[in-house]
């Protein structure tokens, strides 16, 4: 059986558990196995560019030590994705890039909900690398901690407010800009009335497609 290693670049085990729950529907008895790991040497969350850069070494070390048929970097800033792709011949998927691909397949313009204002620059850098920054209708930040985001109720009102603000600014679909938002997806979609994309699920779908194509 082939194996997909899903790397949570921070050290938050609750965040890793949320990622595992989000991609659980993609696991089948006969399909690839998804293994989710958090990195003890990673930052507590990726709030800043310093956190982004601090996570790259641990990501590369895990890839070198843990062979898999595909890798998913499960952070919506896609930290170290270029370095990871240079370090292995197997596919490496960044969840933000996967979510953007899904968003532009669904609609002309999309919005992004960021965990903090500092995340916006990293999202825009990824969009520039993809040549898709012009498709971004809006981005709104919550400015909360990862712990608050993982709480089932603490940040939900802020998430709904941010999603509605993106829609008001012209977004026709919404990307959840942090993996800690996964368990809020259905409630946000219900409240804002447009499709809401969870990045880890989109990366899992791409990994399955890539492995199916190689079999």
Residue 191 and residue 102 share a domain? yes
Residue 132 and residue 87 share a domain? no
Q: Report the CATH number that the domain containing residue 139 is assigned in CATH.
A: 3.40.50.1860
Q: Give the C-alpha separation, 94 to 99, whole Å.
A: 9
Into how many domains does the chain fold?
2
Residue 101 and residue 71 share a domain? no
> Structure tokens of 213?
């194509």
pTM here? 0.94
Q: Which structural domain, as residue segments, surrounds residue 20?
A: 3-94+201-214
Residue 181 and residue 129 share a domain? yes
Q: Quick one: CA dihedral 29, 34, 35, 37, positive or negative?
A: negative
Residue 11 and residue 71 share a domain? yes
Q: Give the C-alpha separation, 176 to 76, whole Å.
A: 8
Residue 14 and residue 36 share a domain? yes
Q: How many residues does the chain have?
A: 215
3-state secondary structure of 159: helix
Residue 126 and residue 116 share a domain? yes
Query: What is the DSSP annotation of 48-102?
Result: SHHHHHHHHHHHHHHHHHS--SEEEE-STT-TTHHHHHHH-SS-EEEHHHHHHHH
Return the closest-CA partner of residue 190 out of 214, 211, 167: 167
Residue 101 and residue 87 share a domain? no
Q: Report the CATH number that the domain containing residue 12 is assigned in CATH.
A: 3.40.50.12500
Q: Give the C-alpha separation, 108 to 31, whole Å.
A: 33
Question: Strand pairing partners for 174?
Answer: 111, 196
Query: Over its length of 215 residues, how does the chain's per-residue pLDDT go in tens digits?
Result: 899 999 999 999 999 999 999 999 999 888 899 999 999 999 999 999 999 999 999 999 999 999 999 999 999 999 999 999 999 999 999 999 999 999 999 999 999 999 999 999 999 999 999 999 999 999 999 999 988 888 878 899 999 999 999 999 999 999 999 998 998 999 999 999 999 999 999 999 999 999 987 75
């Amino acid at each position: 059986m082939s194996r997909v290693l899903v790397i949570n670049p921070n050290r938050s085990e609750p965040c890793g558990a949320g990622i595992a729950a989000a991609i659980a529907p993609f696991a089948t008895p006969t399909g690839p196995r998804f293994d989710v790991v958090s990195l003890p040497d990673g930052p507590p969350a990726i709030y800043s560019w310093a956190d982004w850069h601090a996570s790259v070494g641990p990501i590369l070390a895990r890839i070198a030590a843990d062979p898999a048929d595909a890798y998913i970097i499960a952070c919506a800033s896609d930290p170290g994705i270029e370095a990871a792709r240079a370090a292995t011949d197997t596919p490496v998927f960044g969840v933000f890039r996967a979510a953007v691909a899904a968003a532009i397949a669904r609609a002309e313009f999309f919005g992004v909900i960021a965990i903090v204002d500092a995340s916006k620059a990293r999202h825009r850098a990824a969009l520039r690398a993809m040549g898709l920054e012009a498709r971004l209708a809006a981005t709104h930040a919550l400015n909360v901690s990862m712990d608050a985001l993982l709480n089932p109720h603490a940040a939900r009102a802020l998430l709904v407010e941010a999603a509605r603000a993106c829609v008001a600014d012209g977004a026709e679909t919404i990307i959840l800009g942090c993996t800690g938002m996964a368990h809020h997806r259905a409630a946000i979609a219900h409240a804002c009335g447009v499709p809401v994309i969870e990045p880890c699920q989109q990366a899992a779908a791409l990994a399955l497609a890539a492995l199916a194509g190689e079999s």
